[in-house]
Structure 1
Amino acid sequence: MDVYARYSPAIRDYIYRSGWDTLRAVQSAAGDVLFGTDAHLLLCASTASGKTEAALFPIITLMQEQPPTSIGCLYIAPLKALINDQFLRLNDVCAECNIPVWHWHGDVSDREKKRLMRRPSGILQITPESLEAMLFNRHAHVASLFGDLRFIVIDEIHAFLRGDRGGQALCLIERLSRAAGVNPRRVGLSATVGDPDSVGEFLAAGTKRRTIIPRIQSTPIKWRLSMQHFFNNGPQATDTDQSTVDSAPEPAVEASDSTADLLPVDEQPTDTAPVVADPGLAYIFEHTRGRKCLIFSNSREECETVTATLRRYCEARHEPDRFLIHHGNLSYSIRRQAEERMRQSEAALTVCTTSTLELGIDIGRLERAFQIDAPATVSSFLQRMGRTGRRGAPAEMWFVMRENHTEPRALLPETIPWELLQGIAVVQLYLEDRWVEAPHKRRLPYSLLYHQTMATLASGGEMLPPELAARVLTLPPFRNVSQDDFRTLLLHLLEIDHIQRTDRGGLLIGLAGERVVNDYKFYAVFRENEEYTVRCDSEELGTIVKPPPVMSKIAIAGHVWEVEEVDYKHHVVYCHRVGGVVHAYFGEEPGDIDNRVLERMRLLLLQTDNYAYLLPNAVARLADTRRLAARAGLGLRPLVPLGGDMYSLTPWLGSYAFLALERFLRLRCATRLGLSKDFDSFRPYYMRFTMQVPAADFYRILREEIARPLDPMDLLYPNEMPIFDKYDETLPASLTRKGFAYGVLDVDTMKQWIMALPD
């Protein structure tokens, strides 16, 4: 098909004025599917490849040719900031095509929302949480809002694949379609999909349409990639004094669909970082100078510490502050200010951030990204790498791996640089195999089941139990939930007054349930810590958990503040700004590392390959680690003696298979192995314990125990309530335990690992 000729005249005029000579492959492929078939579409293409335009140009054309009588296209994105960014991006082309673009979330004015309610039309951009609120609070208007809905676009679809939020999105789409009587086509967009076929199944769940996934020939991608290692104090791995910055030139890698070629880069930094400084952060301080950069941290706490430290370095050098901060606990105004300054300012600024800037929010042309320690997933690495290198420049990522020197008496596993190994493994998995994590399929999402049951009752009113079951259990995420499990849930909710029974046998939201569903936090299915708003005078800085005592110090927004007053009733902390650096705390952030990443880490120890992106300290640290591992047999056998009756077990299993193995040892094998109570687990890398049997018997006992029947429920402790998802505490104990055993623990992978143990 000549896709360009099929576009509407207004779209062709826009393309001509934009100076495009030809359509990109992704745009031609999307046009073929959307114009020529009735199927769903999954577009997998690199960052900045034009996926959004590829999907929306045909949709806009079809809407122009046959204008819908309601909202014609629903655009779902994971972040409000991404919606705001795309809203500005789409306005120009849609205005010329006479297609209104609306956005709907907590920061959009009631005035604009009322305008949409009066005249539903065009394209609506929304987050899952805001769509939940819309279906909940405006249920009577759903038919008029979406009665002629033709398309649903899910941007950054990979962000919905590894938790309840993706299941919620599918439920919302199905509930909306039923209420409005429509069957819209679905379009998924992503730059980092590891198993396209599984994602295509996710996209089509609950429908009778197939998903077409065009195999788009990608053009070679140029990467400038480096990885350096630093001890936080003392000598470095190269045994040279590098108390400030490393001056070796960094290599670059060109990543294409074939092999990786090296591109030399000759760049000698000047030594201007503070002399008395954290060497890793001093390295970042120097190499962000004169450029627009992002610094990715794996936690909000680390992000705060890094920002505060780098700002102190500016003060020490009598330089203007060039560091901004952006993470999920900061106020909207602070996050928005960072985005606007990066987008509009010509100055060389750097934003310290977490995953909040991992997705495609436009913050201008970025020259370089830094990653402190290893990201948990290949997908995250690719997203972060893809934030740089647009408009023809190569993408550029500098890894900075940091660790403390271990104590002289430290045991073997404590001396391994796990973050360095994980960082190399993440990079190599993509360079060698183009591997990215597949969707995480939850078998029994009971927390989401509670949420959607309450949402269905709250929006739909009284229902008889069979009608409620028919509405809820037919939603795509609940295909493995039995009628008996749903009955158990309803009986429990009646007992705790979250629902109540009417005289005619119907079900309604109960008094306790009303307090849950009427809280704005109900719309989100991810867990939230109990948070306190932090204020300095009239300025809102963000939120924290566990408010500290008066006169103590907290870290937020890249500065340190002294607490003046804590309003426990209204959850507000009042403070004023002071100097210094303190550690922040925003709540736990569990990781989810795949089995393939750990297995690739193991292979690193057995190989002798060097990697062109490793800089001298990293090369030396990896070589030292390989020598140490070879002497101990680490990587060849999982059980390593540490002296006496103490051992370390390194199974090289991902987070949830590791957790299953840990429980299997404690609950099934402890007596036969003679395990002591001082069993330490350092997930997902190693376990350390003492036992009373010889090492040779360890493998035999595990194989014998795994040969016996094993129900995942056997891996729960007596009376344990493993709280994993948002509403697990609200569920009956039997479902909470069952959901954790069957939905979280990776028992199958653990079994395979044990059965493959040596004799």
Structure 2
Amino acid sequence: MSIHKLHPRLQDLVKDQKWDRLTEIQEKAFDPIYQGKSCIIEAPTSGGKTEAVLFPLLTRIATRKTSGFKVLYIAPLKALLNDLALRVLPYAQKCYMEAFKWHGDVSQGDKVRQMNFPSDILLTTPESIEAILLRRGNWRAVFSSLETIVIDEAHYFALTERGSHLMSLLARIGEYLPHEPQRIAVTATIGNPDELLHWLMGGRSGGECIRVEGKNTKEKDFEIRFFVEDGRDLQRDLYNLLVRKKSIVFDRSRTGTEDTAARINQYNQEHPGRFPVKVKTHHSSVSKRLREDAEASIKNVSGESLNAIISTSTLELGIDIGELDQILQIGGLNSSGSFLQRVGRTGRRAGRPQFFRGLCSDVGELVLLTGCVSLGMKGRSEAILLPRRAFHILAHQVICYCIQHAGATAEQIWTTLSKAFCFSKISRAELDMLVAHMVQEEYLRRVNGNVLLTGDKSEKEFLRANYRRLFAIFDTGPIYNVVDGKKVIGTLDSEFARTQQLPFIFVLGGQEWNTLKIDHEQQQVMVQKNETGIAPKWNTYNNPDIPFELAQEVGRLLMGDETIEFLDYQAFMVIRAQREAHRYLGWEKRKWIMEVAGGSGKIHLWTFAGDKINRALHIIFKSCSEGEGSYDYQKVVLNMNQMSIEAAYALMMRLRDQTENDIVNLLESNTAPKWFSKFSACLPDALATRTIIEKGMDAAGLVRELNIVTIEY
């Protein structure tokens, strides 16, 4: 495509930047976006996706003279919005237009001015859109000229409940627009772009996927290293890798990032040298100011700049932190898509390879990381399982819709919200069941017959403090204090504290604690020292699920004998030992192996099907054998004193005759409702159970696999 299609001022920009040409995705995307077509823009990290979207949009809307927001640009993080604004605002000004970023850190005065004199482009988050719809009376006017909705990092949204919230918001905005806006989703490589397009479009037809493959010509310097013991060897190797380099070090937990940073600082003190390694941490419990300081410091080219940011997944998304020399991963990783996102931050300079080092001391984490890198080197990402029965989000949206419209009927709510993909498998009867329960529990109340208003319980739980708890679907209070008498021991994540059933035991500060009481109102956990010696399960709680594709790749690698070039000698020896331990199974794609684990009295069903499919199988076996059993992403385990291997095989054969609805009904009858969201209390037990199953199990995937695998025993 010739750059002459661009707005004249953008042509000047391209020349000033000395860009030889537009990137492949920018060329392919220009005409469809300019012509107003809805689409998925899929390209690897650093492919120029932002400009691929903005250049045709700015070129088109520069000719429009209407007032109001013309482009709604949605990103998942405030930091990402701040980063985008550094490019979007100058691009807009070049074309004689204005852009405005709107999030929680922007002053109310500036927001009021935007509602009176809206810019052409609004950069914001789903939570801020919710606040606009609920608190700004003239929102219809400012959105009346809306032409295009852009969703940045769409794969991130689709993976989380915030994506369901976002799709609901778009349905509510579209309710009053004279025409359906163009929808554009910007994403890194994913395994099922066509399904993401359905998610984006909701009940609408049309749309296309515009995709650019990753270039395998880029030189790669990847290595995974294994350390027999976690400690000085791993930390010393990490330290040496960081000297005089610009790096991001990813760790799986907030505790891990802080521990790694502390060890690096200790090493600086114990081994003073000319080039001490300077690091800061970056995760959800670090304040906004400190996170931004870390992002700014590592961009600095002076001698005072950082060598590394030690981060959880918060730096996985496309926040610009300048040129990086390397990406380091401590421990395992649960997604090849995450690996591609992370490693794509390196090798952007000409003549520099993509550089990755994985440092593992746990065999299981080594196996997973090997699978991730193996898939990533093929450019393959996992498919995203997109929710279609998000009842807890529906409950949230029913409350919001009633506030937004100062009362609404169930029919009005259904007409609007049923268009969102996340509710596409919810029936009108299920909505009526939800509304009846919310009325009974006083989250809603009826007036004038069929009109619904918020009830006393909604007012108490969600509408205080200026609706702050309502704007976000996730819990805004992430910390519970742990108290022994009057002494505060430390803190727990709310997700951990709220899902435990008394009595439970956990470790904090190296000490086992027995929980006496949980006060959810005050967000406190009352404890005393535990003397029973019961092993806590802290470290295994709420690990991200291993997806099907990664589980299959692990199975393939364990059964194979191919040389894995990116393993160091120690890692190679561990993988070789794992191969020796598993190869006897003879597992392969489309074949499940059922065996009696020698002398253990247990049956192992080896599927390598991932956590969500195996969790569903575990529930089914448990319901039929009255035993606990267990599962992981590789296999399902059951006790032989509860079921023989012949009976287990016969059950698997019977399951092959079941439809997806049959499997879901079986899972529903054997799954207990429990707390999983601050809105789950709004649900009757039946709908809560259905949501839990969709969130944690893959019934469709189980049916798919049962119909294509052979089962041997």
Please state which band the TM-score falls in when normalised by the shorter chain: 0.7 to 0.9
The residue number in structure 1 matching 2:405 is 460
How is 1:64-213 mapped onto 2 (pairs within 5 angstroms)?
Answer: 64-138=62-136, 140-213=137-210
The residue number in structure 1 matching 2:688 is 736
2:482 aligned with 1:511: no
- In structure 2, what is the Cα distance between the partners aligned to 1:473 and 1:706? 32
Deviation at 1:615, TM superposition (A): 0.8
The residue number in structure 1 matching 2:16 is 17
How is 1:7-86 mapped onto 2 (pairs within 5 angstroms)?
Answer: 7-35=6-34, 37-86=35-84
Is 2:392–2:677's contact at 8 Å kept on the other side of the alignment? yes
How is 1:283-322 mapped onto 2 (pairs within 5 angstroms)?
Answer: 283-318=237-272, 320=276, 322=278
Structure 1, 117-126 or 312-321: larger mean CA deviation: 312-321
Is 1:445–1:478's contact at 8 Å kept on the other side of the alignment? yes
Deviation at 1:390, TM superposition (A): 1.9
Is 2:331–2:360's contact at 8 Å kept on the other side of the alignment? yes
Deviation at 1:711, TM superposition (A): 4.0
Cα offsets for 1:543-576 (capped at 9, x unmatched): xx646763646799xxx999xxxx9998799xxx
Distance change (3 Å), C-alpha of 1:148 and 1:660: same
Is 2:482–2:490's contact at 8 Å kept on the other side of the alignment? no
The residue number in structure 2 matching 1:274 is none
- In structure 2, what is the Cα distance between the partners aligned to 1:707 and 1:41? 38
Is 1:40–1:187's contact at 8 Å kept on the other side of the alignment? yes
- In structure 1, what is the Cα distance between the partners aligned to 2:285 and 2:541? 13
Aligned AA (1:425): G
Is 1:297–1:354's contact at 8 Å kept on the other side of the alignment? yes
- In structure 1, what is the Cα distance between the partners aligned to 2:658 and 2:13? 67
The residue number in structure 2 matching 1:758 is 712
The residue number in structure 2 matching 1:418 is 364
Distance change (3 Å), C-alpha of 1:682 and 1:214: closer
Distance change (3 Å), C-alpha of 1:386 and 1:83: same
SS in 1 for 2:487: coil
Cα offsets for 1:259-287 (capped at 9, x unmatched): xxxxxxxxxxxxxxxxxx43222211111
Cα offsets for 1:701-752 (capped at 9, x unmatched): 4424665784423235668214444422321111111233356422343345
- In structure 2, what is the Cα distance between the partners aligned to 1:468 and 1:749? 31
Distance change (3 Å), C-alpha of 1:659 and 1:722: farther
Distance change (3 Å), C-alpha of 1:587 and 1:626: closer
Deviation at 1:504, TM superposition (A): 4.2
Is 1:418–1:685's contact at 8 Å kept on the other side of the alignment? no
Is 1:638–1:650's contact at 8 Å kept on the other side of the alignment? yes
SS in 1 for 2:593: coil
- In structure 2, what is the Cα distance between the partners aligned to 1:429 and 1:64? 43
Aligned AA (2:3): Y
Aligned AA (1:683): D
Deviation at 1:200, TM superposition (A): 2.2
2:325 aligned with 1:367: yes
How is 1:217-236 mapped onto 2 (pairs within 5 angstroms)?
Answer: 218=215, 220-232=217-229
Is 2:619–2:670's contact at 8 Å kept on the other side of the alignment? no
The residue number in structure 2 matching 1:626 is 579
- In structure 2, what is the Cα distance between the partners aligned to 1:308 and 1:120? 47
- In structure 2, what is the Cα distance between the partners aligned to 1:208 and 1:706? 33
Deviation at 1:458, TM superposition (A): 1.0
Aligned AA (2:12): D
Deviation at 1:610, TM superposition (A): 1.4
Identity of aligned residues (%): 25
Deviation at 1:638, TM superposition (A): 4.1
Cα offsets for 1:44-71 (capped at 9, x unmatched): 1221121111211121122222233111
SS in 2 for 1:729: helix
SS in 2 for 1:65: coil
Count, aligned residues = 664
Cα offsets for 1:454-486 (capped at 9, x unmatched): 111111112233223323333342222111111
- In structure 2, what is the Cα distance between the partners aligned to 1:304 and 1:717? 43
Deviation at 1:424, TM superposition (A): 1.7
The residue number in structure 2 matching 1:550 is 487
Deviation at 1:40, TM superposition (A): 1.1
Cα offsets for 1:473-527 (capped at 9, x unmatched): 3334222211111111111111111111113431111121123442413222235
The residue number in structure 2 matching 1:271 is none
SS in 1 for 2:579: helix
- In structure 1, what is the Cα distance between the partners aligned to 2:701 and 2:370? 23
- In structure 2, what is the Cα distance between the partners aligned to 1:204 and 1:707? 33
Structure 1, 302-311 or 591-600: larger mean CA deviation: 302-311
The residue number in structure 1 matching 2:5 is 6
2:374 aligned with 1:428: yes
Aligned AA (1:297): D
- In structure 1, what is the Cα distance between the partners aligned to 2:450 and 2:697? 38
The residue number in structure 2 matching 1:501 is 446
- In structure 2, what is the Cα distance between the partners aligned to 1:309 and 1:334? 19
Deviation at 1:431, TM superposition (A): 2.9
Distance change (3 Å), C-alpha of 1:649 and 1:561: closer
2:351 aligned with 1:401: no
- In structure 2, what is the Cα distance between the partners aligned to 1:33 and 1:107? 35
The residue number in structure 2 matching 1:281 is 235
The residue number in structure 2 matching 1:526 is 474
Is 1:646–1:689's contact at 8 Å kept on the other side of the alignment? yes
Is 1:174–1:206's contact at 8 Å kept on the other side of the alignment? no
- In structure 2, what is the Cα distance between the partners aligned to 1:743 and 1:752? 18
SS in 2 for 1:42: strand
Aligned AA (1:175): R
SS in 1 for 2:310: strand
Cα offsets for 1:233-265 (capped at 9, x unmatched): 6xxxxxxxxxxxxxxxxxxxxxxxxxxxxxxxx
C-alpha RMSD over aligned residues: 3.1
- In structure 2, what is the Cα distance between the partners aligned to 1:476 and 1:694? 43
Cα offsets for 1:283-325 (capped at 9, x unmatched): 1111111111111112223222222222222222236561110
TM-score by length of 1: 0.81
TM-score by length of 2: 0.86
- In structure 2, what is the Cα distance between the partners aligned to 1:718 and 1:758? 27
Deviation at 1:687, TM superposition (A): 4.6
Is 1:152–1:185's contact at 8 Å kept on the other side of the alignment? yes
Structure 1, 69-78 or 37-46: larger mean CA deviation: 37-46
- In structure 1, what is the Cα distance between the partners aligned to 2:359 and 2:91? 41
Deviation at 1:332, TM superposition (A): 0.9
Structure 1, 724-733 or 66-75: larger mean CA deviation: 724-733
Could you list the runs of 5+ residues in structure 2 that have no partner in the other structure?
494-507, 511-518, 526-535
SS in 2 for 1:46: coil
- In structure 2, what is the Cα distance between the partners aligned to 1:169 and 1:717? 31
- In structure 1, what is the Cα distance between the partners aligned to 2:310 and 2:4? 45
Structure 1, 342-351 or 141-150: larger mean CA deviation: 342-351
2:649 aligned with 1:712: no
Aligned AA (2:44): S
2:628 aligned with 1:683: no
The residue number in structure 1 matching 2:613 is 657
- In structure 2, what is the Cα distance between the partners aligned to 1:332 and 1:612? 40
